[in-house]
Chain A
Amino acid sequence: MTADAEPERRRLMDEPARRLHPAGVVLEAAGSIGGLVVPIVAVVLLGASGGGLARSLVYGLVALAGAVVLGIARWATTTFHVSPDGIALRAGILSPDERLVPRARIQGVDVVQGPLHRLLGLVELRVQAAGGGKSAEIVLRALDPRQARELGALLGHPVHEAEPDARWRMGAGDLLVAALTAPQAGILLPLLAGAGALAQETVRDGGGRKVLDLAPGGLGPLALLIAGLALAALLLSIGAALVAFGGFEARREGGLLRIRRGLLQRSSVTVPLARVHAVRIVESPLRQPLGLAAVRIETVAQGEEPAAARTLLPLVRRADLTHVLGSLVPGLEPPAAPLAGPPPRARRRYTLAPALAGAALGGAATLVASAAWPAIALLTLGGVAYGLRAYADAGWLLDGTHVTIRSRRVGRATLVARARRLQAESLTRTPLQARAGLATLEIAVGAGRRARLRHVEADVAAGLFARLRDLAIGVR
């Protein structure tokens, strides 16, 4: 659909060409050095081994000069045009690329400020558009904050903050809990289990004498090592949480949602509420027992952003969820009414596959080491328990124009979506399901997030399918 972008393109190109802030040269040069770090180190080391320090210094300086020249060339060949019609970027030294995002296609405008940006007092502006991966994003690497504000206002996505209608902040305590319950913290569990097993072993081998024997020479260093590893994992997890979510704040200013986060690289994501097609509430295995969850927003923008960028709430108490989401993304809070689930006869369909998988895994382990035979029973039971959980967690609700689907893979995920914004939906029936009168419904939202409702009554699934279809194409 390039055709309908033509008049916009022409009008945009009539706008005067703008350039990035001159200090952008430093950022571009730093970027090239970052990309060349391996060859530079190799050259410097090579120089050091061959001809001593002086020569390696020369090589290093040559590389630096190259990076600066490259930075200047990049800066000089980057121009952009902005008008209320949209934004166009032309960048590239030898073969300039031209990218255009019409205003209507802009999904959100992000302001990012890395450590170097902060030093120079600059910001990076990222204009998110729908679809197509990396090319769906226009990145202006070095702008004066004032210019960034001006561009945001021109494009209809104001980047300066206004008085919020609702605001959610992440406290230091939340950050710590988020770090302790982050998936990375999962590394801790096997370590602790190992330490526990070791301790038990020593006690069972009995005799205070033996323990005393072991403690100084054998067990001590090992325990120390495990404790050290656990501590390192813990610190790593806390560090990662700090970097990603330090200073996290989500706020709503009228119809705009603004998410600010990051310790080293500060970013501020601005998304119009209407472009939030769904929210996804994720309760990971470590968090669910504590009554905690994380919330992500689903939009059609798909820049090469890390998952953290689309996090609306890194950690929230389940009890506060309705209230917090109701004020930040009104309409997308989880429904108060209970969800409907699959019929009881679907239960064994949920349990059979994980039970068989568990048995197979146990069987494989037993083949490797015959002493592992109890694993067959344990893993099978584990599979059954998981299947029963997945059955109990599965549920759905169509509430006016919002559809909720809850399911479990590792954690429990609840998707609350605007039915009018569904990207696609499908209804699947295997021969076994057909015989039992069951079916599976899947919906796709945003940039490809899918939610699956397995083994529900076939006529219920068909009714929901038909209704969602009507809503998605605008039939009331």
Chain B
Amino acid sequence: MTGALGDTACRSAPELAPRAEPSGLLSGRARTQWTLDALSWALPLLIAALVASRAWDGPGWARALIVAAAIAIATGGAIAGPQLRWRRWRYDVRDEEVDLRHGMVTVVRTVVPMARIQHVEVRRTFLSQTLSTATLVLHTAAGAVEIPALDEHVAAALRDRIAELARTPDADDDR
């Protein structure tokens, strides 16, 4: 397999000293935000399950099972999910690239070269504003990448820093 990488790549492994994995954390309030976000479907689900178990005259254990399943899904999605998601999210903004790693089950590592970033956006919702968090959106020609639920002042500082770095023209001023 190494053959395909050629002499320039895999074989000279020491040169490839892997840069540090990303280490920045999202805002601690991200968890609260995601939990509140999840309530918008978790609560209706619970209510629907309760109503269904009342209305349906099936065996008692089956009705209990419906309610239990709804409670499990709701707590999983609204409480455990945000906790795990927050614990897995890491980001780093370096001079030459933005490095992200996230994913509760499937782990995704994404790198976007700084020179490819066309513009930066700070996105807020009503909920995120009350929690003073904001989402940083990095736009490239090939689409956007998000760093969700950062502390508002961190997001603003990152936006300014990335805007400054991204302005440095690329070698062929070609994005």
Contacts and interface: CB of A to CB of B under 8 A. Distances in A.
Interface of A: 1, 3-4, 104-105, 130-132, 274-275, 300, 302, 337, 339-340, 343, 396-400, 421-431, 434, 444-450, 456-457, 460, 462-467, 469-470, 472-474
**Chain B interface SS verdict (over half):** mixed
Contact of A426 (B109, B116, B140): B109
A81 B105 CA distance: 53
A424 B139 CA distance: 11
Q: Is the interface of A mostly helix, strand, loop or mixed?
A: mixed
Contacts of B116: 422-424, 472
B113 A422 contact: yes
Contacts of B113: 422-424, 469, 472-473
Contacts of A300: 141-142, 174-175
B142 A446 contact: yes
Contacts of A426: 108-111
Contact of A447 (B3, B103, B107, B141): B141
Nearest to A468: B111
A280 to B, nearest CB: 14
Contact of A1 (B2, B105, B118): B118
B10 interface: yes
Nearest to B7: A400
30 contacts: A1-B166, A4-B167, A104-B169, A104-B173, A274-B172, A275-B174, A302-B141, A337-B4, A398-B6, A400-B6, A424-B116, A425-B110, A425-B111, A428-B106, A428-B109, A429-B106, A445-B142, A448-B143, A456-B1, A462-B18, A463-B5, A463-B13, A464-B5, A466-B16, A467-B16, A469-B111, A469-B113, A473-B96, A473-B113, A473-B114
B16 A430 contact: no
B171 interface: yes
Given A430-B105, A449-B142, A462-B18, 9 more contacts: A131-B175, A423-B141, A457-B1, A463-B5, A467-B8, A467-B16, A469-B113, A473-B96, A473-B97
A421 B166 CA distance: 15
B9 A423 contact: no
B163 interface: yes
A418 to B, nearest CB: 10
Contacts of A457: 1
A104 B10 CA distance: 36
Contacts of A430: 105-106
Contacts of B175: 105, 130-131, 300
B36 interface: no
Nearest to A337: B4
Interface of B: 1-6, 8-10, 13, 16, 18, 96-97, 103, 105-116, 118-119, 139-143, 145, 163, 166-167, 169, 171-175
A157 to B, nearest CB: 13
B141 A131 contact: yes
A344 to B, nearest CB: 12
Nearest to B138: A424
Given A1-B118, A473-B97, A130 B105 contact: no
Contacts of B96: 473-474
B5 A398 contact: yes
A402 B11 CA distance: 17
Contact of A474 (B107, B112, B171): B171
A34 to B, nearest CB: 31
Contact of B97 (A447, A464, A469): A469
